[in-house]
Amino acid sequence: MSAKLLDGTKVGAQIRSEVALRVRDLQQRHGYAPTLVVILIGDNPASQVYVRSKIKACEELGIRSEKLTPPASITTGELLALVAELNARSDVDGILIQLPLPKQVDTKRVLMAVDPSKDVDGFHPVNVGNLVSNNPGLLPCTPAGVIEILKRSDIPVSGKEAVIVGRSDIVGKPVALLLLHQNATVTIAHSRTPDLPAVCRRADILVAAIGRPGMISKEHIRPGAVVIDVGINRLTERAEVERFFPGDAKRLADFEKRGSTLVGDVDPVAAMELASAFTPVPGGVGPLTIAMLMSNTVAAAEKRIQTEVEVGS
C-alpha cells in the first residue's frame, strides 16, 4: 500500500481564501478591517520566523496587523499592563503572545490576562472550558487545523478509534477533545503509557504530537490507518536524513542547501507503507496552524461586530 498524502498546503490555501471573503464582507458591510496584534519578545529565531509568517498571512488576507516588540527585560507587570491596554482597545480583535516568553515573565499569568474574546490562540481557561463543554469559542489553532484537514479530506471520524500520542495543553489534549466531539472513541497516550505500539495499533486515526523525530514507526501503525503527524523536528545530521528519507534525492538536496531539514514525529517510510492517508512534514498540519489563526482573528471580529449590532438595535 502507498498512503495518500493529505495536502495541508492546499487545505490551508482553501481556508485562507474563505477567510479573505469574510474579511471582504466585514469591510463591505461594516467598513471594518479585523486587526491582529502580535507581541514578540526576545530574539528566538524560530519565534521570529513564526511571527513573520503570521504577519505575512494577515497582509495577504486584508487583516490589519501590528507587531509589538517590547524589550527582553520586560517584567510580568509591564507585560500585564500592555495586555490590559490591548484588551481595552476597541480596534483590536486578536492578541497573540508569541511563546516562549523570557524566563522572568510569568507566562501563565500573562496568558490568563488576555481577554478571552481576543484570545486567538485559544489558550485562555475560558476558551479551554468552552472546548471541553463543546460550546462555541476560539479553538487552539493546530488542533483545529487537524480537524479541518480530516474534514476537508473526507475522512470519517464518527465511530472511529482515535489514538493521540501526546497530552500537551496546546496540541494533544485539545485534539483529543475535538475528536471526541466528532464522536470518535479516543485514547490519549503519553510517555508513561505501557506498550505504546499496541495502543497505537488500535487506531483508525493515529495522531502524533510528541516532539521526537520519526518515533512512530511500523510497529505503531495499523495497516490502513489514517496518520496525522503534528510533529516538527529539525534534522541536522546527514545520517538521520538518509535514515528517514532513504533514496529521496530531493530531500537530501534540501538538506545540503539549508544544512537541515524537517521531519515529523512519524517515520515517513513506515507511514507511506502502512497508512491509508498521511500528512507529510512539511506541508501537512503545519500550514493549517496559521490558516486557523487567521480564521480565529476574523471570527473574533465578526462576533464583536455582531454583538455591537445587536446591542445597538
Q: Which of 7, 119, 121, 229 is catalytic?
A: 121
Active site residue 98: yes
Confirm whether 54 is a catalytic residue: yes
To the nearest whole angstrom, how small is the minimum distance from the Cβ of residue 259 to ligand NDP? 19
Cα dihedral 68, 73, 79, 85 sign:
negative
304 near ligand NDP, judged by CB under 6 A: no
- Can you name the residues that pair with 187 across neighbouring β-strands? 163
Q: Under a CB-based contact definition with an 8 Å cutoff, are residues 120 and 297 in contact?
A: yes
In the residue annotation, 48 being an active-site residue is answered as no
CB closer to ligand NDP, 142 vs 296 = 142
Contact of 235 with 255, CB cutoff 8 Å:
yes
**98 contributes a contact to ligand NDP by CB under 6 A:** no
Binding flag, residue 52, ligand NDP (CB under 6 A)? no
Q: Is 293 in the site for ligand NDP (CB under 6 A)?
A: no
- Among residues 7, 93, 98, 265, the one annotated as catalytic is 98
212 forms part of the interface with ligand NDP (CB under 6 A) = yes
Backbone angles phi, psi at 20, to 5 degrees: -60, -40
Residue 114 near ligand NDP by CB under 6 A? no
C-beta of residue 295 within 8 angstroms of C-beta of residue 19? yes
214 scored as a contact of ligand NDP (CB under 6 A)? no
Among 167, 202, 222, 303, binds ligand NDP (CB under 6 A): 167
For residues 293 and 239, the answer to whether their CB atoms sit within 8 Å is: no
Instruction: Give the Cβ contact number of residue 104 at 10 Å.
Output: 10
Residues 6+ apart with CB under 8 A from 46: none
Residue in 132, 170, 252, 305 binding ligand NDP, rule: CB under 6 A = 170
Does position 26 interact with ligand NDP (CB under 6 A)? The reply is no
Instruction: Report in angstroms how near the CB of residue 192 gets to ligand NDP at its nearest.
Output: 5
Alpha helices in 89-157 (DSSP H): 107-113, 125-133, 141-152
Terminal CA-CA length for the chain: 59
| Single-letter amino acid, residue 128 | V
The 239-268 contact track toward ligand NDP, x by CB under 6 A, reads --------------------------x---
How many angstroms separate the Cα of 7 from the Cα of each of 135, 146, 155, 245, 291? 29, 12, 13, 19, 14
> Does residue 149 belong to the site contacting ligand NDP (CB under 6 A)?
no
**Catalytic positions, written as ranges:** 54, 98, 121
Binding site for ligand NDP (CB under 6 A): 142, 165-168, 170-172, 190-192, 196, 209-212, 230-233, 265, 285-286, 289
